[in-house]
Structure 1
Amino acid sequence: ERYAHNIINDLNRWTVGWIDWNLMLDETGGPNHVGNLCSAPILANTVNDTLMHQSSYYYLGHFSRFIKPGAQRVLCAASRQDLESTAFANPDGSVAVVVMNRTDQAIAFALKLGIETAATELPPHSIATYLANSV
């Protein structure tokens, strides 16, 4: 959750891009030239030749899959303090809205895009991306 929280927070504060320096590391959290081993969205197990997709991999997908190159951030105001969100207008006219619930309770809310409204609910500790083809 902290990973997605950081992305949402950065994007909502005039960041023009977001990068994770370590998209893939080995099973020990390396290699690393200074020995500060860490995690990554994908861990490659070099012993049994498998990939382990961490939760951060799926969080990153909410942004990289739906927010297209050239997208412009648009105003996104949450009426519920417990929800974190960001929204982008894509070059094709679609709008991607990423919403995250970090609480222990499901949260019902209304997503409003232009004159359209959709009622939805996010389960506890979840993230969702809503894509509108045009507004």
Structure 2
Amino acid sequence: MRNLLVIFGALVLLAGCGSQPPAPAPAAPAASASPRGVPVGPAGRTYLEALRSIDPGLVENRARAILRGRDVCDDLAQGKDRATVVKNAALRFAGGHASIDQAKAEKIVAAIGSSGLCKEAGHA
């Protein structure tokens, strides 16, 4: 009987050695309303809607639009004159899926100012 218990115990140990550890549970996807990891709050959504009304191509790449808008916020926070801010906005938003002229650049800068994007991004 004792030999039978020893053999049974050895079989249990051997069976345990051959088994693989359970696979880890897959991580839950991060819930985010942000485009490609760029945080977007209410002001950012208002800004994106304003851009869409200027030219739908401006929001084809939402992450790019948010980041470019924050770059304009940097210009404004640095106290750059309006003409420079508009010129830089035209350069930043050029390419992609929209063509940007002076009038659109003016509207973009106005949308950034009225949406609250700069405040949401941490600028005064």
Normalised by the size of structure 2, how large is the TM-score? Answer: 0.25
Q: Counting helix residues as a fraction of each chain, which structure ranks higher?
A: 2
Normalised by the size of structure 1, how large is the TM-score? Answer: 0.24
Q: Counting strand residues as a fraction of each chain, which structure ranks higher?
A: 1
Q: Which has the higher contact order (CA 8 A, sep 6+)?
A: 2
